[in-house]
Amino acid sequence: MGQGTEDSTSIPRATAKRPKATTAGTAGENTGLRSMRAWWRWLGALFWNEAEGRLRAGVRVCIFFGLWGFGPALLHLLLGEWVRLLAGSRGQWLASIYLDLLRLFAVLLAALIAARFVDFRPLPDWGFHLNRRWWLDLLFGMVLGAVLMGAIFTVEWMLGWVDVTGFWSAPAGVPFAAAILAPVTLAVVVAVSEELLARGNQLLNFAEGFRFLRLRWSILVAWAISSFIFGLLHVSNPNSSWLSTGYLVFYGAFLGMGYVLTGELALPIGLHFTWNFVQGSVFGFPVSGRPLYMVSVLDTRQAGPDLWTGGAFGPEAGLLGLIAGLIGIVAMVLWVRFHQRVISFDRLAANMAPKENAGVDV
């Protein structure tokens, strides 16, 4: 009886200790799971803005940059050879027009996708509210770009820094009126695609991301960052240098001014288009180190000091171009002051969303 009682009491003691060990193990596992979940939440917060219900500004910018670069490259890879065969051996200028239009289609499609499904906003909020004011700003930008580049040429010609050696330059066997369509198309595509990237997407999204600095400073910081990126996009161009890249950062700010003051892409697109086209296809200057299909109204040869003319990179790397840009900034401010009666960032701020949230989003 005594032995049996001792055995019967020892078993429950051993059994009673087991749940404690199991509970401690479960608690440890739960702590590990909570730590892992917290880590994943922290990692997710780096990319996802819970308050806005969308990706953070830097991630949104990176996604569009990938679409902006990869989309046209993919179309060229898939259709480029077919387009060249279609154009024929004597129609390479025509093939270049088709390929540039394909690039524009790919960029616009990428912008539509990024605005709708990444930014969660309508594409017009990037700067395409096509009203009467928009078209007037586009026209003013086009006139301003042509006048500024004409002034650069006139000064160089009067100082003997540029010689006119011919007229109506075009590829052999192609009428000038037809050949000029290739650089016109290229200038339009470059203006629209680069302004969509640097101003419509980057500047707007970065301004939203830095709103914790308050509105004015967030726009100024975004303006500076997008201008810096714009300069770096041209760092691998022919005949480029760190000096020319620095100048292009300035031109990024120059073009960006039209966007931050109007909230629309019309003025910078118009300015960008004629600045490039008149520079390369009217006066025969290199455009950011590149010729525009070797088609120009004037054949010119530069002989002035590179410090002022920009040398082989073109006027954008010279002091004359810098002075023209500063004059252009004053002209833009006067234009906006005349039409809007006030100089402010309010029109760009109206495109920023969600307007009620001012938290950290970068």
Provide DSSP, 143-174. HHHHHHHHHHHHHHHHTT-EEEEEEEE--TTS
> By mean pLDDT, which of 4-13, 38-47, 218-227 is the weakest?
4-13
- If one compares 47 and 203, the residue with the highest pLDDT of the two is 203
Alpha carbons 56 and 120: distance in angstroms, whole number: 12
Would you say 210 and 359 are in contact if contact means Cβ atoms under 8 Å apart?
A: no
Would you say 60 and 54 are in contact if contact means Cβ atoms under 8 Å apart?
A: yes
pLDDT in tens, 97-131: 999 999 999 999 999 999 999 999 999 999 999 99
Section 325-340 average pLDDT: 94
Q: Find, among 96, 93, 131, 126, the residue nearest to 108 by Cα.
A: 126
In the prediction, which pLDDT does 11 show?
44
Say whether 310 sits in a helix, a strand or coil.
Answer: coil
Alpha carbons 310 and 88: distance in angstroms, whole number: 37
pLDDT in tens, 165-217: 999 988 877 888 888 999 999 999 999 999 999 999 999 999 999 988 889 99
Query: Hey, how many other C-beta atoms are within 10 angstroms of the C-beta on 27?
Result: 10
pTM of the complete model: 0.86
> By mean pLDDT, which of 233-237, 287-291, 304-308 is the weakest?
287-291
Would you say 138 and 269 are in contact if contact means Cβ atoms under 8 Å apart?
A: yes
Would you say 261 and 332 are in contact if contact means Cβ atoms under 8 Å apart?
A: yes
Question: Which tokens in the block code for residue 122?
Answer: 């309508």
- If one compares 171 and 6, the residue with the highest pLDDT of the two is 171
In the prediction, which pLDDT does 264 show?
96
Alpha carbons 18 and 20: distance in angstroms, whole number: 5
Residue 19 has pLDDT above 70, yes or no: no
In the prediction, which pLDDT does 64 show?
97
DSSP 8-state class, residue 316: G
- Residue 14's pLDDT band, with cuts at 50, 70 and 90, is very low
Length of the chain: 362
The domain ranges of the chain are 129-349
